[in-house]
A and B are shown apart, each in its own frame.
Chain A
Amino acid sequence: MPKFLEMTGISKQFGGVRALSDVDLDIAAGEVHCLAGENGSGKSTLIKIISGVQPPEPGGRIMIDGHEVSGLTPAESIRRGIQVIYQDLSLFPNLTVAENIAVERHHGLHAVNWSAIRDTAQAAMQRVGVSIDPQSFVADLSIAQRQLVAICRAIANDARLVIMDEPTASLTRHEVDALLALTLELKRRGVAVVFVSHRLDEVLEIAERVTVLRNGEKKGTFEARDMTDRRLVELMTGKSFNYELSETDLSAAPVVLAVRNLSRAGDYDDISFEVKAGEILGITGRLGSGRTELALSLFGMSPPDHGEIRIKDRPLQLSSNREAIANGIAYVSEDRLSLGLIMEQPISSNIALPVLERLRGPFGLVQAGRWRETVRRWIADLGIKVSDPENPVRTLSGGNQQRVVLAKWLATEPSLLILDSPTVGVDIGAKDGIYQIVRDLAASGLAVIMISDEIPEVLYHADRILIMQEGRIAGEYLPHQVTEAALRQAVDA
């Protein structure tokens, strides 16, 4: 097959961080290619270079269709048929769906041709097989819909190579399947697709070749056919992982959270359970089963209609999340980008601001030493890969941003930690890091509720598992008394 894109000797340095060193990559026309690597291994950086957003260091060469291009700009890259769907989707929330899809028609200096914009958008949506009101604003769409808009935009530009940076991180299984089908459809039309994902099963499902990066270096390009999960993980991390079922004796531990007959109309109904100090309670269930709503209620964000919440045997009426925090409850939400982080602010402030009160010394002034110490400690404890804690959070890779969110909450020293899909968008090595952290936290007496879509996650890392269905608790399991298949069946029942 002819090569659409060939890159050789690509390097990139940001301040003190070597994001890429001497990486080669080639993509054939109509190929589905996967980029794999841990958080911060340089995947997004490589993509930014392909799309002309970042220039490579001198010595790097980029050939498109066999012709060398130098000084690639975003406009030039798009003109050559390269379309990127970024981790943050890069849509314009204040423009309509049609304008976002046909944004190329806004280039230049001319009168706006609204009917051409509508036609372009309609045609692209038809080809992709989606229907979204072209006149609605992107700000009003769900994440999955926004993703479709981003894909339609790529298609509308006659893309020959579509690059998707972690497209599935915030999608449900069903939506992921639709996306994978769409990818194959693109391939059938001769469009090459580069896919970045941390869900290895889906990578191996559709990719023909896999390129593995580790710490900015290329570990090789492999046929997906010959690849296994295990080998891929080893290539990415240099380590191998074996999870064991957990069995902790909690009989003597005090109850931290007790929920009795909690109900909220339309969301969940008659929920009762307990979490002990040191226990990790896994909650799983399908989309809309009420798990996130339950978590929000426990965190004071949407009050229940009936029932009782007790923390350490004190009844609690939460009317705001501030109260929840004051009562030792921390909630790490599933969408890390819109909740929780101030992207333009330094990493250090993001971690330390929520606990400013505790860093005060005499005269109520914040003590710089304690501030630095807090920041240093959490960066070290969570293994956040930073060159300088004073850099804005924006400069961190996606997975490292996730850890900053976690650090921020842990700094509040909670007694109950609620994690909603804590490892979405996190690579396998970092996942392990997060599991390890959660276990250590539990071992130190923290009660943890871990909500997850991924059955193995709760099976291997929780002490007890609740399954929610249509707002009710449909079953309770102990990890060593149940199999993954049985759990999956219970969830889907």
Chain B
Amino acid sequence: MRNALRRFGRTHEARLLLVTVALMIFLSFATKNFFTIQNALDLLTSYAFPGMMAAGLVVVLVAGGLDISFTAVASIAQYLAVLAANHYGIGWLGLFGIALAVGTALGLLNALLVTGLRIASIIVTIAMLNVYYGLLMFVTGGDTINSLPDWFANGLSWVVAFDSHQNPYILNMQMIGLVLAFIMTWLLLNRTSVGRQLRALGGNPEAAKRVGFNVLRLNMVAYGYMGFMAGLASLVQAQVAQTVMPNALVGRELDVLAAVVLGGASLFGGVGTVLGTILGLALLAILQNGLILLGVASFWTECFTGIVFLVAVSTIAWERRRQRLAIRRVIGTAA
């Protein structure tokens, strides 16, 4: 136990936790509203969408790939699903069924292209982002769907308690979706053989082939899962927004990528954890929220996010370099 703690103390996650907690303490004193249950619930609701996307993206990064197209995938999934729900009497099951199927299918297409073309995944998926998005804009003419079915617009939520002013504390489908997404990713990465194969593939692709792992199948799992999450997250987002705009999501890729990389996932593959991703997301959310509560003008928020991202990436790079040097020293004395 003590050993495990010590091991944890040296990880990126531990440092991230420290920074997050420090920031939380600072904001609790510096602002009136930060340290309230209501604020926490609001944050959970509004960060459910990037959070669920991050839960999908970390799997792709762990497998040594990169997916940029997920916002376009989500846009298509939500548009088709809500369109169908408006025209045919499909219920919750049908709605989610369509969104998940569309998301997963587009993810699988990404996997086929990345594996088949043998071109860097970032390039393939940037191209696919534009293809998907362009097609969506072309087919829909950019039209917004303003009326959602009533049952969907009302959403799923439960009042669980009241604060001293009788304002309700609400548990909603966004929070459930977010928690579910992280649990699923954790199970996939840590409790299934496929998850371990994904990590192995990201760590040493050549060796993965040599021990006989099926790279195409693994990529289909990784990108398919990302697409699946995009489908799930798209509905969660549509429910909050109460409209479906074909251009509402594209452009938010980098926020998600920032959270995942902040969480310690490596763009070179093989590295990344669910805990790290959660912390990365939390840090980003708290930071952006804190700046708003402190009354800082909103364009500063983006600038700040960028700076934090840069600092995070460089500390990670620096850590890695130190580790590599240490290894090199070991090798040096061994030979």
Seen from chain A, the residues whose Cβ lies within 8 Å of a Cβ on chain B are 51, 53, 73-75, 78, 84, 86, 88, 90-95, 99, 103-112, 139-144, 170-172, 175, 287-288, 292-293, 296, 334-335, 338-339, 421, 424, 453
Q: Report B318-335 CB contacts with A as 1/0, cut-off 8 Å.
A: 000001000110111111
Would you call A140 and B327 a contact (CB within 8 A)?
yes
Would you call A335 and B212 a contact (CB within 8 A)?
no
What 6 A-B pairs are tightest by C-beta distance, nearest first?
A75-B212, A90-B207, A94-B203, A94-B270, A74-B212, A92-B203
- Residues of A near B199 (CB, < 8 A) are 92, 94-95
- Residues of A near B332 (CB, < 8 A) are 292-293, 296, 334-335
- Binding-face segment, B87-95, B130-138, B189-197: B189-197
Report Cα–Cα, A110/B213, bound state, in Å: 14
Report Cα–Cα, A170/B213, bound state, in Å: 28
- Residues of A near B202 (CB, < 8 A) are 94
Query: Closest Cβ of chain A: how far from B60's Cβ, in Å?
Result: 15
Partner of B334, one of A103, A172, A293: A172
Would you call B210 and A142 a contact (CB within 8 A)?
no
Report Cα–Cα, A316/B327, bound state, in Å: 28
Query: Closest Cβ of chain B: how far from A426's Cβ, in Å?
Result: 14
Would you call B212 and A144 a contact (CB within 8 A)?
no
29 contacts between A and B (CB under 8 A): A51-B210, A74-B211, A74-B212, A86-B207, A86-B210, A91-B204, A93-B203, A94-B199, A95-B196, A95-B199, A95-B203, A106-B193, A107-B193, A107-B197, A107-B212, A110-B193, A111-B192, A112-B190, A112-B191, A112-B196, A143-B335, A144-B334, A170-B331, A171-B334, A287-B335, A292-B332, A293-B332, A338-B331, A339-B328
Q: State whether the Cβ of B15 lies closer than 8 Å to any Cβ in chain A.
A: no
Closest chain A residue to B270 by CB distance? A94
Query: Closest Cβ of chain B: how far from A481's Cβ, in Å?
Result: 29
Interface of B is mostly: helix
Query: Closest Cβ of chain A: how far from B121's Cβ, in Å?
Result: 15
Report Cα–Cα, A112/B191, bound state, in Å: 5
A109 and B331 contact, Cβ closer than 8 Å, known pairs A92-B204, A94-B199, A94-B270: no
Partner of B204, one of A93, A142, A293, A296: A93
Would you call A112 and B193 a contact (CB within 8 A)?
yes
Q: State whether the Cβ of B209 lies closer than 8 Å to any Cβ in chain A.
A: yes
Partner of B209, one of A53, A172, A334, A421: A53
Report Cα–Cα, A12/B333, bound state, in Å: 39
- Residues of B near A106 (CB, < 8 A) are 193, 196-197, 200
Would you call A111 and B191 a contact (CB within 8 A)?
yes
Q: State whether the Cβ of B206 lies closer than 8 Å to any Cβ in chain A.
A: yes
A172 and B210 contact, Cβ closer than 8 Å, known pairs A103-B200, A108-B193: no
Q: State whether the Cβ of B105 lies closer than 8 Å to any Cβ in chain A.
A: no
Would you call A74 and B270 a contact (CB within 8 A)?
no
Q: State whether the Cβ of B271 lies closer than 8 Å to any Cβ in chain A.
A: yes
Query: Closest Cβ of chain A: how far from B71's Cβ, in Å?
Result: 28
Report Cα–Cα, A140/B323, bound state, in Å: 8
Report Cα–Cα, A111/B191, bound state, in Å: 6
Report Cα–Cα, A421/B331, bound state, in Å: 13
Query: Closest Cβ of chain B: how far from A440's Cβ, in Å?
Result: 26
Seen from chain B, the residues whose Cβ lies within 8 Å of a Cβ on chain A are 190-197, 199-200, 202-204, 206-213, 270-271, 323, 327-328, 330-335
Query: Closest Cβ of chain A: how far from B42's Cβ, in Å?
Result: 37
Report Cα–Cα, A103/B204, bound state, in Å: 13
Would you call B206 and A139 a contact (CB within 8 A)?
no
Query: Closest Cβ of chain B: how far from A168's Cβ, in Å?
Result: 11
- Residues of A near B210 (CB, < 8 A) are 51, 53, 74, 84, 86, 90
Query: Closest Cβ of chain B: how far from A203's Cβ, in Å?
Result: 20
Interface centre among A78, A93, A106, A144 (most CB of B within 10 A): A106
Would you call A105 and B193 a contact (CB within 8 A)?
yes
Given contacts A86-B207, A106-B196, A108-B193, 16 further A-B contacts (CB under 8 A): A90-B204, A90-B210, A92-B270, A106-B197, A107-B212, A110-B193, A111-B193, A142-B331, A143-B334, A143-B335, A144-B334, A170-B335, A292-B332, A292-B335, A335-B331, A335-B335
Closest chain A residue to B324 by CB distance? A338
Closest chain A residue to B203 by CB distance? A94
- Residues of B near A86 (CB, < 8 A) are 207, 210
Would you call B334 and A170 a contact (CB within 8 A)?
yes
Would you call A292 and B333 a contact (CB within 8 A)?
yes
Report Cα–Cα, A99/B198, bound state, in Å: 13
- Residues of A near B209 (CB, < 8 A) are 53, 74
Report Cα–Cα, A106/B271, bound state, in Å: 18
- Residues of B near A51 (CB, < 8 A) are 210
Query: Closest Cβ of chain B: how far from A104's Cβ, in Å?
Result: 7
Query: Closest Cβ of chain B: how far from A112's Cβ, in Å?
Result: 6
Query: Closest Cβ of chain A: how far from B63's Cβ, in Å?
Result: 11
Would you call A94 and B271 a contact (CB within 8 A)?
yes
- Residues of A near B195 (CB, < 8 A) are 112
Partner of B335, one of A78, A112, A171: A171
- Residues of B near A339 (CB, < 8 A) are 328
- Residues of B near A175 (CB, < 8 A) are 334
Report Cα–Cα, A90/B212, bound state, in Å: 12
Query: Closest Cβ of chain B: how far from A153's Cβ, in Å?
Result: 9
Closest chain A residue to B272 by CB distance? A94
Closest chain B residue to A51 by CB distance? B210
Report Cα–Cα, A104/B211, bound state, in Å: 8
Report Cα–Cα, A94/B334, bound state, in Å: 21
Query: Closest Cβ of chain A: how far from B205's Cβ, in Å?
Result: 10
Would you call B270 and A93 a contact (CB within 8 A)?
yes
Would you call A421 and B335 a contact (CB within 8 A)?
yes
Closest chain A residue to B214 by CB distance? A75
Would you call B207 and A287 a contact (CB within 8 A)?
no
Report Cα–Cα, A92/B196, bound state, in Å: 11
Query: Closest Cβ of chain B: how far from A390's Cβ, in Å?
Result: 17
Would you call B331 and A73 a contact (CB within 8 A)?
no
Query: Closest Cβ of chain A: how far from B271's Cβ, in Å?
Result: 6
Would you call A424 and B212 a contact (CB within 8 A)?
no
A139 and B335 contact, Cβ closer than 8 Å, known pairs A74-B210, A78-B212, A90-B207: no
